[in-house]
Structure 1
Amino acid sequence: MTAAPLPADEYRRLLDLARYQILDTGQDETFDRITRLAARVLNVPVAVLNLVDQHRQWGKSAYGLGDTTAPRHDSFCAWTILDDRPLVVENAPQDARFRQNPMVTGAPHIHMYAGAPLISPAGHRIGTLCVTDDKPHPLSPGDLQALQDLAAIAMNELELRRQQLEAQHDAQAQRQQVAELRRTLEQARILEGVSSLMDLDLEPEAATLAAASLISEAIGADYAGLLTWHGDSFTVQAAHHQPGLPAQVLALAEQLPHLPGGVTRTLRGLDRPLYLANYAAHPQALPALVEAGVAQAAWVPLGEGEAGPTLLLALRVQGHAVTDWRAGDRTLLEAAGRTIRHALQRHAALQQVHEQARQDALTGLFNRRAFDEDLDTREAAGEPFALALVDVDGLKGVNDTEGHAQGDRLLQVFGAALAAQVGEGGAAYRVGGDEFALLVPDQSQEELLERIDVAMGAAQQITVQRTGASTGVVRWNDAPSRSTRLTLADERMYAAKRRRHATQQH
């Protein structure tokens, strides 16, 4: 027995066959009518509609036989798809290609085979409509033409079915697109509402509670609350709950802070949302909440409130129609979280400026008070840092010859350039009339002096007077305490000033 060779276009043929999504589908009366008609018209006991896959022939419809699936190397149809014309085998037991074929030596004992290829609009032969008989059965030219006509009808049905499937797929995709657009618009509406709430003249806590309620209702949460940390403990304020919620869940605000352990106690420093689709499966799940029916939980960080870090807690209970935190839920929660977080940060910044007046009015830099507070903070943190005290030389000359407005402009340009040079984690301060300071993460004196020289270079462009910057740099390990660091920086600054004056006199 000889297996059929592969068609020259085999790869493209298989891709074309896959487009019809027909393999391994169920019975279809449309194709059964064609095989019944083929058997009747050609007066044969067996008619089959076969598709030839990579390693097998698979029967979509068969009249006179059961399952016609067979390995491709045993397939008569694999020979038929090599040509556009019908393949006729009049005496299979005498044909060298088929006499050892199991379908010849055994059931259905094929003696005569005739197959017409199913030719797709792309020109690929993806299968056959074939007839067989277990005894000699000559076929006339009219018989073969009828077989070809029926094969063409079958191919038309396959093509129609493909087009319908693609139309259904396109319609489904369009419905999904419309649904996604609606969800996006709804999310935009919710986010707009959250933003509006945070802009109202409300206390941050009240605005955040109202925003949390709006968000939670939009995602279908059964319960939502705000968790605010106070040191190592926290409090819970209910923001939203669905009617009919179990009493154990409603009592969450009172119970949760007093229950030992739990997921929440590990989340004080949470900086990204945490979603649990199966709360009970978490190793730190609280039995009381599991017994109350909590199924899903989400924690979304909202930034620093007035008391401390704040989280939005959203819960769904057993039996909820949605069994996971969907992509849309997460998108809305995270976008709303950012909106609230930014609003809280803005409020905190404005409050801080208002209460502490930490900003220098002329340059926009931090002032002396801010410098003292920030230096204390860095000292307490115990992390390496460097500080620089800077005195602008030549300011009096600018004021005397070009006017105080130009002197102010010199300070403003220097301050802006200095702020641009401090880098990440650093801050620039105006601590006196012509005195500035820098606090930055630990770095070498050379690097810090270079930053200050760049800033001074920018300031020197606005005046014809001789100006410069005398700087004293101290790294955190140059002196043992705050006061000694400041004293050392001051001494180094005045030493630099003396050297500058000596150089100018010579």
Structure 2
Amino acid sequence: MSPSPSLQENQRLEALYHYNILDTASEAAFDRITLLASRLLGVPISLVSLVDQDRIWFKSRQGLDCPQVDREGSFCGFAMYNQGVYCINDTLIDPQWCDHPLVTGEFGLRFYAAAPLCTSDGQRLGTLCVMDHHPHELSELEVQTLQSLGELVIEQLDLRLASQRLQQTEIALMQSETRFRALVEQAADGFLLHDFNGRILDVNEFACQSLGYNRKELLSLSLQQIEVDPLPLIFFQSLVQGQPITLQRTYRRQDQTTFPVEVRLGLIQVGEQQLIHTLARDISDRLEIEQQLKQQAERERLNTRLTQRIHESLELSQILNTTVTEVRQALQNERVIIFRFDSDKEGEVLTESCAQGCFSLLGNRYKDCCIKETLSLEKTDQVKSVADIYTDNLSCCDQELLIKLKIRAYLVTPILHGQKMWGLLVAHQCSSPRKWQVWEQELLVSLAAQLAIAIQQSELYHQLKIVNHELKYLATFDSLTGIANRRYFDEYLQIQWYQLSQEQAPLSVILCDLDFFKPYNDTYGHLAGDQALREVAQAICKAMRYPTDLVARYGGEEFAVILPKTGVAEAILIAQNIQKQIEKLQIIHSGSSVGYYMTCSLGIGMVIPSQNMNSKQLIEIADQGLYQAKAQGRNQYVVSSLSPSMSLN
């Protein structure tokens, strides 16, 4: 059945090998096509088959575990030479194939149809084929659909090859502008070279024609002017990490019309600069075909969309509100609620979405006497459907409550959290009976499962926020004294320095060192020393006046105070108050030579921040004062001023 080796076969194999696709990993683009082929044509098996010299290898396969088969006597090896879709409605009555092992053997092949994969220059690479164990007869529309999907396979092969070619020639492009221009001009896609700011540096003629500009006009634009939406930052981060990006974008032409494109982004090194190259293919026709296919999978698409909406937020209230809104819009019913149990049989309506004229149940509490028994916790896919409360077999108490709430029909499924029932997802029809469709029941069950995941994620998110808050506290505050640490002191000083330099207002700093603290530790022990530090820290805080004043542990037994908008006179008063507050503690210190109780020495520095100074110099001024206070006998404060050696000028 296969043609004998010849020049024509060698050329065909050369074309196949040129795509460099044999024995490569599965790719989502091809898997989507085979999945759509199976769903649309109603068959269990669909394959993208590539015919090698002695074998047929499957790039994508649905419903078949075998990665390849022998070419000898194969269906695909024969079908790829057909001048259109090759179809065998029933292999048992087909004289050519009725004795084939796949037909007579355990596999039991009864139906086969294939669209040849033919390149633009006529080379046959293989087929997009579908199979079944039962006879089929394709309609004219189904034949056209299979042919269109086969053309999509060729488009993906060409796009994949174009991307590979571009990546392989990046080094050569840097060395030769002529070769670079030749490559991009020959590309059957729009080519744009731009930097990370979106400035367009180079384009090919195809891009100009697609967008309606001449080359000069297009080079004067930025990428943001031709893209409808800006590219998210995360994609640039992936590119920098060496990950090529393929995604769908929307471009805007010069006449302001828009069109969808599939773009492949990659990095290229030009000298010391990294640039982004973009291959853009107009996919308007492809999307039209996909839209037709999507209409046949409305429930799956709707379920996916609602699930994505649920997971867009980690805030539980937002997740629940989104769910009830989207479910009611999808089902076109009159009310959707989420009911949460807070005890064994009692709970509250947490959120709802109501049609106009339907009264609210939000916040109402109810006792549920039978739902938990009706819905088995062992089956998470269970749903209860009531088309009419007057004709369905309901208990009297249930019926009375539903009549009171003016509910005529309902659909309910449990929301589980682990092995416990967290709550219920309920759809109400109030004005009339309603026979709930299977897809509606499946949708509710699916979303309840997603809600269970979202609830767990939300709880983890809130736990993470608590942990992050604790980590931030540990990074900001001193673990022993509970006041700010050195790191936060430095950050806060920089903030106040900048702000007061704009306002030209004074900024004071007080450095406070406990007198003879090492002998105190040696005499009373480190536990007593730690307790003394805690008490002193709180005493210093009591001496502050305004919320903007900051007390920090500067290191060891040394404390530091930042006093925004405070002159020398006020700083002296605060220093005196600090001494008084510490004196009130009456911490006995037998190792001190300046007093019976623990005392401190203080250095005061004050400046009006300006451009010819920095915050470190203010610390130096206060530190100089502290040094003088200690040198003069301790248990006192000294106001220090800026010395000539501290000036930047």
Give the shorter-chain TM-score range.
0.3 to 0.5
Higher helix share: 1
* Structure 1 length-normalised TM: 0.34
Greater RCO, 1 or 2 (C-alpha within 8 Å, sep 6+): 1
Name the larger-Rg structure. 1
* Structure 2 length-normalised TM: 0.28
